[in-house]
């Protein structure tokens, strides 16, 4: 795809150019809080929503394969788009598990 030796060069070659650091920090925080909530069993529904928001934002903004002309790059983004959609489906399955979970951390 492309070569990069440092983060600044990578950022200059991505789709989100100048706002990439802020977007990366916000999305990283979303996925971290969502994962932490699911692992600990605290605020599971909110955690599922955070992860779903992360997956939807990254899928439709970063992996928009329908607007890529290069066939190899299109295939790369298509695979990642549908992987994110599969992860979204698996993430939503957590809503079907009755709460509180057996090993969840009890607050209060």
pLDDT in tens, 76-86: 999 999 999 99
> What's the whole-model pTM score?
0.75
Measured distance CA(34)–CA(57) in Å, rounded = 14
pLDDT in tens, 31-86: 999 999 999 988 999 999 999 999 999 999 888 999 989 999 999 999 999 999 99
Measured distance CA(12)–CA(34) in Å, rounded = 29
Q: Are 52 and 92 in contact (CB under 8 A)?
A: yes
Q: Are 40 and 71 in contact (CB under 8 A)?
A: no
């Amino acid at each position: 795809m492309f070569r990069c030796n440092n983060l600044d060069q990578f950022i200059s070659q991505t789709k989100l150019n100048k706002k990439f650091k802020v977007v990366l920090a916000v999305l990283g925080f979303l996925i971290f809080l969502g994962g932490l909530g699911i692992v600990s069993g605290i605020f599971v529904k909110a955690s599922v929503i955070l992860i779903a928001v992360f997956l939807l934002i990254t899928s439709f903004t970063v992996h928009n394969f329908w607007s890529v002309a290069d066939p190899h790059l299109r295939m790369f983004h298509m695979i990642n788009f549908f992987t994110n959609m599969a992860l979204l489906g698996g993430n939503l399955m957590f809503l079907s598990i009755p709460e509180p979970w057996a090993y969840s951390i009890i607050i209060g």
